[in-house]
Structure formats: structure tokens, C-alpha cells
């Protein structure tokens, strides 16, 4: 196919990248530690690790993992934590031991965690003590053989470490009681690993690096198999796109999004590829604290989602920060609203660079150019990436030449490139329906204009995007339907000023005493907070097609009378 977008690339950005710039992610961190030895790598809660320290600690953790009984090359190890210094140490340690990382949302309920660990066959997990009680609930029903627990302040120097852990556990009481026989503390794991040399593990580009879980049309979470080559390709693609004007080893990047999310994960690795300092934000919901942290740095790079940008703009003191060093702000996960983009430009003097991606593409697919004003598009395909708009019969649609040919040009956005996943873990049927003739069917609907710029207009699938996180209606429906007072239900996404979209549930009660609050309380027991319906509407019946399929679009509107 003709890459019509290449002539609109930023100066210096190549048409193609080398997806094997590094043989593996372990090789990348080892080479970065040589190039940027004493440069700061990661900062969190007042303490900074250099690239050499990150290499050393991750080597010790890898050595510890290698000696755990029953853990062999290619086995899966989960990380269940917010953004702490322990996260990159554990992540690189797992990879350097020849194992596969399974990123877990630390806010998962026991039901959600059990499914993910069971599906991945995870034999070990690294968990912050705040969430260990949830792991305790599932240890006996999952393949877990080893649990490594860490306290929030474990990688801080004493006495700060002791103070932070004391405040979290005893003062703020943020650690529910837990008891997991045989659990090993993270600090003990590092000490054990330091006593033994790491045995080098050959890791090939085609080996799995991550099982990155995403929702599915059936509501069952699926593990996207991302290889070392997939992730390295996307690091190179995104890194070259923004490289102009960046100084290797000199940039400061703010990482407020959680590293367990693919957007933050890859963007953080991409910034590290430049030798940047990554400032890890542990709790991005505490916006005053985020603003205070931003005030300590002359930061030059940042990632975020529309919800975060909007929240920061409304937080006192944000407009008084020093933005003089700011170069690149990448927005992803969900569409950046025009009003938010305009206000951000007014306050910071910088445009938000809106990008598009999905878990199955590691995740980057396309991006606007740095400095481009908001235009509602998601920009141009990244280097080594082909994007094609396809119809229902998988026929290629023409580019949109003018405003009048939208219907003819619209179709499903399909992607091909070295960042596209190998497939779904143990799910050949879903893989076959998602990857066709080498093309990843994204489920997003849009068009491409004559310059190669891509615009998303709709979603073919029913997923709901809440602050950049995927919510699949059928998963929420299954939880609601398990309430004894519910006869049937339907779930849709509705516009929400704060989160972009919110979950709305329409319920037909089997018990006349059922209330919306009952449904919400039930959901909170079984679902992560962002999946819980913001609105619950009780109706006498659900709108359906003649064959009995629920009309989701009709659920968004209030019921008609009569």
C-alpha cells in the first residue's frame, strides 16, 4: 500500500524503525545503565534511583526469582502495585530472569484478580501490602506458588522508609489485615538475590515480554501477547516521533498514569530510552498533591488522559507552575476534548500531542505532530506502521477527499506493523477474529484524509472508555445479573464531563424492593471502581430487537412514556 502520510512526517522522523534496536528489554536496560550510569532514572516519594542502581536492584530481583522452586523460563509473574520505585525494579527483574510480566490493576476485586491470574497461569506475584488481603482471598484458587509483598516505602532510605511505612500502615490505616503463609518481603528478596550472581538468560526478540490484559466483547478479559520485539518496536516508533529537540540524559518526564496501563508503560520505557528521569506519581487522584509535585520540577515531558488534564486545569495552583521547560505533552487513552486542549494551551503554552493506540498494538498506532493544534484527529501512522480503513467485507475504503464523502470513506481502522501483538493468550478464536491477513482489526471506526491523517468517529465494539480504561458492558451486566433481585439488565456508556464516558446500567427488577443503590453496592463488591455504574435506571422492560437482542443505543436515552 502507498503510505501517503510519509510526506507529512516531522523533519528527521524516518519512514521505518529497527524493531530489533535491542535484542530484548533486558538488553535495553543494561545498555542504558552503561550510557547513563549516574544519571537519575526514577524518582518517587522524595527518593531517586540512578540508572546504575535500577540495573543493580533489578539484577538482584532477577537472581532471586531464578532460584524460586517451580519457576522456569517463560513462566508468568504478576505485579500488583501503583507507581512506586519497586515497579520498574520488579518489572525489569522479571524480564531479566527470562520470565513474563503480567501487569495487574491493584484496585481489582478478588473476582477480577482470580480470573486474570488463573488465565495467565501466573506462578508468582509482587504485591504492595495495601492489596495483599485481596491476594490472600485467591491464593488457594489460582496457580500462585510465590507471593512477594512490599510496603510503600521499601526502596526509600532509612529513616524515611520507616516513617512512610509507619504512616501508611498505622496512621492512615491503609493496609487491611492479611496473612499469606510463605510470603517473602521485597527487601528480603533483594537481599537473597544480591547474595547470588544472576545467571544470564538468553531472551530472543520473539519471546513474550508481557501478557497485557484487556477486555473482550464477551466480557472476559484477554491477555494480549506482547513480545520483546513488539514493545521495543513501539519504543522506537514513539521515541523517534518526539525525539526532535530532546536532549539525551537531560529530560524530566512526569508519569502520573499507572504503569500497569499499557499507555504509561510504553511511554515510560520510551522516555527512559532517551535517558530521561521518570517522576512516578503514586496517586494521580490527589490532584493538589500532583500539582505540588509538579512544582518541584522543571519538567519537560508528560503523559496524561483528558480526565487528568481537565482535573489539573481546575486545581488551584496549576496555572502558576513553571512550564518554561515543557516540550512534549502526550494525550492518549481516550479522546482529548477540544475545550480541554484549548485551555491547556492557554495555561501551559504547549499543545497536547494527541495519540491513538490500543493494548494489542503495544499500544502506539498514530500521533499528531508536536506543535500541531487540536483538530479532532489522532494524527498520522507512526513509522513502520500501516493503517487501512476497511469495510464490512474487509474491502479497503478510499481516503476522504472532501467533507461530502464521509460515508464512503468510513470503515474499521485496521493496523499492521511490528508493534502488533502475537495474539491472545490461549484464545485462538479471538485471535482469528481480531487479526485478519496480518491486519489488526481495532474495532474503532473512522476515516483517513488525503494527507494520511486518521480520525476516529465511532466504535464498532460496545466498549466504554472511562478515563482511558476499557469497560466492557457484558462484564458489568454479568455482575449485575448475579444480584438475586435483578431480572435482566443492559449497560452502556454515556457522556461524562469528568471521565469522558461513564457507565450507565438499565435494570429490570425481579424484586420490587430493589433500588439503584442496591445495584451500585453490589457492583462495588465485585468490580473495580471505574467499572461501577455511575447511573442506574430501573425500567419495566429493556428495548430489544425482534429477535430479542438488547438495543444498547436505546438504553442511553430516557424511556418513552405511554
Per-residue model confidence as pLDDT tens digits over 190-218: 999 999 999 999 999 999 999 999 854 34
Percent of the chain's residues with pLDDT above 90: 81
Report the pLDDT value the prediction gives residue 562, as an integer from 0 to 100: 44
Closest CA to 207 of 234, 222, 229: 229
For 159-170, what is the mean pLDDT?
Answer: 97
Report the pLDDT value the prediction gives residue 410, as an integer from 0 to 100: 87
What's phi and psi for 169, nearest 5 deg? -85, -45
**pLDDT per residue over 325-349, tens digit each?**
999 999 998 788 888 899 999 999 9
* CATH classification number, 464-555, choose in 3.40.449.10, 3.20.20.70, 3.30.300.30, 2.40.37.10: 3.30.300.30
For 224-235, what is the mean pLDDT?
Answer: 98
Q: Which three cell numbers stand for residue 344?
A: 491547556
Q: Which of the pair, 216 or 350, is modelled with greater confidence?
A: 350
Report the pLDDT value the prediction gives residue 550, as an integer from 0 to 100: 73
Q: Which CATH superfamily is domain 375-459 in?
A: Luciferase; Domain 3 (2.30.38.10)
Beta strands in 369-463 (DSSP E): 380-381, 386-390, 411-416, 423-424, 435-436, 439-448, 454-459
Report the pLDDT value the prediction gives residue 545, as an integer from 0 to 100: 53
Report the pLDDT value the prediction gives residue 392, as an integer from 0 to 100: 84
Residues 6+ apart with CB under 8 A from 207: 24, 74, 98, 227, 228
Q: Which of the pair, 189 or 405, is modelled with greater confidence?
A: 189
Closest CA to 10 of 243, 236, 274, 267: 243
For 136-152, what is the mean pLDDT?
Answer: 97
Task: Name the burial class of residue 516, with classes exposed (0-12), middle (13-18) and buried (19+) by CB atoms within 10 angstroms of its CB.
Answer: middle
The correct answer on CATH 3.90.180.10 for the domain covering 22-203 is no
What's phi and psi for 94, nearest 5 deg? -60, -45
Report the pLDDT value the prediction gives residue 472, as an integer from 0 to 100: 78
**pLDDT per residue over 375-395, tens digit each?**
999 999 999 999 999 998 899
Q: Which three cell numbers stand for residue 104?
A: 495487574
CB contact burial 491-507 (16+ within 10 A = b; e otherwise): bbbeebeebbbbbbbbb
Distance CA 88, CA 58 (A): 8
- The answer to pTM > 0.85 is yes
- 491 to 506, 518, 536: CA distances (angstroms): 6, 16, 9
Distance CA 442, CA 456 (A): 11
> Does 262 have pLDDT greater than 50?
yes
C-beta of residue 425 within 8 angstroms of C-beta of residue 119: yes
Q: Which helix (H) or strand (E) holds 303?
A: strand 301-304
Q: Which helix (H) or strand (E) holds 104?
A: strand 100-104
Q: Any idea where the domains of the chain sit in the sequence?
A: 22-203, 375-459, 464-555
Chain center to CA of 229: 18
Report the pLDDT value the prediction gives residue 549, as an integer from 0 to 100: 57
> Does 552 have pLDDT greater than 50?
yes
Residue 231 CB neighbours (<10 A): 27
Residue 23 CB neighbours (<10 A): 16
Residue 285 CB neighbours (<10 A): 10
**pLDDT per residue over 299-321, tens digit each?**
999 999 888 998 899 999 999 99
For 266-273, what is the mean pLDDT?
Answer: 97
Helical H segments across 256-364, by residue range: 262-273, 287-294, 306-313, 338-348
Report the pLDDT value the prediction gives residue 548, as an integer from 0 to 100: 52
Distance CA 9, CA 382 (A): 9
For 93-120, what is the mean pLDDT?
Answer: 96
Distance CA 34, CA 41 (A): 12
Q: Tell me which residue has cell 472511562.
A: 466
Chain center to CA of 251: 22
Distance CA 383, CA 237 (A): 6
For 467-491, what is the mean pLDDT?
Answer: 86
Using pLDDT thresholds of 50, 70 and 90, give the confidence band for residue 458. confident
For 137-146, what is the mean pLDDT?
Answer: 97
> Does 543 have pLDDT greater than 90?
no
Q: Tell me which residue has cell 490505616.
A: 173
Q: Which three cell numbers stand for residue 415?
A: 493496523
How many CA atoms, within 13 angstroms, populate the side-chain half-sphere of residue 56? Answer: 12
> Does 219 have pLDDT greater than 60?
no
Residue 456 CB neighbours (<10 A): 17
Distance CA 188, CA 64 (A): 9
> Does 189 have pLDDT greater than 50?
yes
Amino acid at each position: 500500500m502507498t503510505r501517503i502520510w510519509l510526506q507529512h512526517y516531522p523533519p528527521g522522523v524516518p519512514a521505518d524503525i529497527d524493531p530489533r534496536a535491542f535484542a530484548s528489554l533486558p538488553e535495553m536496560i543494561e545498555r542504558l545503565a552503561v550510557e547513563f550510569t549516574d544519571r537519575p532514572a526514577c524518582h518517587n516519594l522524595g527518593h531517586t534511583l540512578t540508572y546504575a542502581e535500577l540495573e543493580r536492584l533489578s539484577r538482584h530481583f532477577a537472581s532471586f526469582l531464578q532460584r524460586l522452586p517451580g519457576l522456569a523460563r517463560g513462566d508468568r509473574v504478576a505485579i500488583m502495585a501503583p507507581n512506586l520505585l519497586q515497579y520498574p525494579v520488579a518489572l525489569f527483574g522479571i524480564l531479566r530472569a527470562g520470565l513474563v510480566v503480567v501487569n495487574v490493576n491493584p484496585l481489582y476485586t478478588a473476582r477480577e484478580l482470580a480470573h486474570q491470574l488463573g488465565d495467565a497461569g501466573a506462578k508468582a506475584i509482587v504485591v504492595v501490602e495495601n492489596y495483599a488481603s485481596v491476594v490472600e482471598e485467591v491464593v488457594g484458587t489460582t496457580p500462585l506458588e510465590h507471593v512477594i509483598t512490599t510496603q510503600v516505602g521499601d526502596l526509600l532510605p532509612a529513616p524515611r522508609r520507616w516513617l512512610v511505612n509507619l504512616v501508611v500502615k498505622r496512621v492512615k490505616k491503609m493496609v487491611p489485615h492479611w496473612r499469606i503463609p510463605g510470603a517473602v518481603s521485597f527487601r528480603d528478596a533483594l537481599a537473597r538475590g544480591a547474595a547470588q550472581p544472576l545467571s544470564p538468560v538468553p531472551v530472543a526478540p520473539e519471546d513474550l515480554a508481557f501478557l497485557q490484559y484487556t477486555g473482550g466483547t464477551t466480557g472476559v478479559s484477554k491477555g494480549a501477547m506482547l513480545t520483546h520485539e513488539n514493545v521495543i518496536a513501539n519504543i522506537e516508533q514513539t521515541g523517534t516521533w518526539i525525539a526532535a529537540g530532546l536532549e539525551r540524559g537531560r529530560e524530566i518526564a512526569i508519569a502520573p498514569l499507572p504503569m500497569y496501563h499499557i499507555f504509561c508503560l510504553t511511554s515510560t520505557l520510551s522516555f527512559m530510552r532517551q535517558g530521561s528521569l521518570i517522576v512516578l506519581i503514586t496517586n494521580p487522584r490527589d490532584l493538589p498533591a500532583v500539582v505540588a509535585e509538579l512544582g518541584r520540577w522543571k519538567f519537560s515531558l508528560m503523559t496524561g488522559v483528558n480526565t487528568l488534564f481537565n482535573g489539573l486545569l481546575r486545581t488551584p495552583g496549576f496555572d502558576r507552575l513553571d512550564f518554561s521547560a515543557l516540550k512534549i505533552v502526550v494525550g492518549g487513552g481516550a479522546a482529548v476534548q477540544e475545550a480541554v486542549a484549548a485551555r491547556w494551551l492557554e495555561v501551559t503554552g504547549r499543545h497536547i500531542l494527541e495519540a491513538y493506540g490500543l493494548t494489542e498494538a503495544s499500544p502506539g498506532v498514530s500521533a499528531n505532530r508536536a506543535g500541531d493544534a487540536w483538530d479532532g484527529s489522532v494524527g498520522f501512522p507512526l513509522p513502520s506502521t500501516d493503517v487501512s480503513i476497511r469495510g464490512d467485507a474487509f474491502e479497503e475504503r478510499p481516503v476522504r477527499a472532501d467533507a461530502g464523502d464521509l460515508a464512503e470513506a468510513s470503515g474499521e481502522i485496521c493496523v499492521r506493523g511490528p508493534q502488533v501483538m502475537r495474539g491472545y493468550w490461549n484464545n485462538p478464536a479471538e485471535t482469528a477474529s481480531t487479526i485478519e491477513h496480518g491486519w489488526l482489526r481495532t474495532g474503532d471506526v473512522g476515516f483517513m484524509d488525503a494527507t494520511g491523517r486518521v480520525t476516529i468517529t465511532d466504535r464498532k465494539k460496545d466498549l466504554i472508555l472511562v478515563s482511558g480504561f476499557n469497560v466492557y458492558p457484558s462484564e458489568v451486566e454479568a455482575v449485575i445479573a448475579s444480584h438475586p433481585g435483578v431480572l435482566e439488565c443492559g449497560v452502556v456508556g454515556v457522556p461524562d464531563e469528568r471521565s469522558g464516558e461513564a457507565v450507565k446500567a438499565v435494570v429490570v427488577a425481579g424484586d420490587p424492593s430493589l433500588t439503584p443503590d442496591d445495584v451500585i453496592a453490589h457492583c462495588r463488591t465485585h468490580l473495580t471502581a471505574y467499572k461501577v455504574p455511575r447511573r442506574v435506571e430501573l425500567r419495566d422492560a429493556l428495548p430489544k430487537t425482534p429477535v430479542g437482542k438488547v438495543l444498547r443505543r436505546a438504553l442511553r436515552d430516557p424511556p418513552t412514556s405511554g
